[in-house]
Amino acid sequence: MNWVLVQKDLRLLRLAMLAAVGIALTFYVVVASITFVSWQKGQIREESRINRIYHREIQHDSSDNSRRLALFVADNCTPVSILYVVLIAAVGAMAFARERRDRSAEFLAMLPVSIRRQSAIKLVVSVAVSVLPLAVNAMVFLIASLWFARAYWGAMPVYGYLQVQAGPFGWRAVAVIVSVGLVAWIALRWLGWPWRLIVAATVLAALLTVDVVGVAWWTGSQSAGVWFNPRDWRPAAITAVFAYVGVVSSIFGLAWLLSSATRSSVLSAVFGLGLPLFAMTAVNETTRRADEASILRATGIAGVAVGALCVAAGCVVQSKRPTP
């Protein structure tokens, strides 16, 4: 009985799992091929263009291709991580809303199994589906970093910079997510098949344009981040992990909660993503001058707490609701 529920939930998250693999493969393959080509030409460039908005940038001074390759791979784990945040929001958002929308929740509710057990299994499956690609990505990152470190040992750069989403970029991310999501919601809700595609394509194109223009516009702007010493990378790494786990947990939790309360997974994902990002950007904006590492750690802990609370609340909402 538990196993068929697990299978069912895995089937519901099939698209998310495919997307996770797709995202990872795209980035790894693209990075690998760019790197390979550049390596052949003997000119690995200073910075990866793919992740110029959100990137982990280590100032360094070297012409050793092997080190740069490692840095590249490690660097490109960052956009994968960023996209996984969106993915995890989607996984959380699909928890209940979709089954409620297409009424299969009622089908499920007529089976002799408690809502509590259904939710627990769903939570386990969703967390597994979310954590697995993160773990793989972290693994790749770790290996690449170790490779880099080994190659670079003895000639470590003087400083590093860990960038977080804040400043104009943070605000823009929130705005983009919310607007894309709302348009997607409208498209899914009110439009037929070919129109959905057209609307989605138009919106994506528009956003891409806005984004490119925006990047050019904001080039000079500051974004929050943490300077760190690569020779003593542990505090920075811990801070980064805290921040990331906090972001991911709060987003997953909020999407899960919204999913139990609304019938729209798109809206759940949008606000699940948008609200925590908004909150974090606001915190970062208002505390620019404070000790950013400790702020990041605090927001990380708060994010995990909020996420756990939201998941619990979502399960309660789901089990107490008079209608499935």
Between 107 and 227, whose beta carbon lies closer to other proteins?
107
Q: What residues line the site for other proteins (CB under 8 A)?
A: 1, 3-4, 8, 11, 102-104, 106-107, 109-114, 322-324
Evaluated on CA atoms 280, 285, 288, 290, the torsion sign reads negative
Residue 9 Cβ, how far from other proteins at the closest point, in Å?
A: 11
Between 115 and 302, whose beta carbon lies closer to other proteins?
115
Residue 11 Cβ, how far from other proteins at the closest point, in Å?
A: 7
In this structure, the strands spanning 56-57 and 160-163 are antiparallel
Between 114 and 202, whose beta carbon lies closer to other proteins?
114
Residue 261 Cβ, how far from other proteins at the closest point, in Å?
A: 17
Between 110 and 216, whose beta carbon lies closer to other proteins?
110
Residue 95 Cβ, how far from other proteins at the closest point, in Å?
A: 15
Between 94 and 174, whose beta carbon lies closer to other proteins?
94
Between 11 and 150, whose beta carbon lies closer to other proteins?
11
Between 196 and 321, whose beta carbon lies closer to other proteins?
321
Residue 117 Cβ, how far from other proteins at the closest point, in Å?
A: 9
Residue 311 Cβ, how far from other proteins at the closest point, in Å?
A: 23
Residue 194 Cβ, how far from other proteins at the closest point, in Å?
A: 19
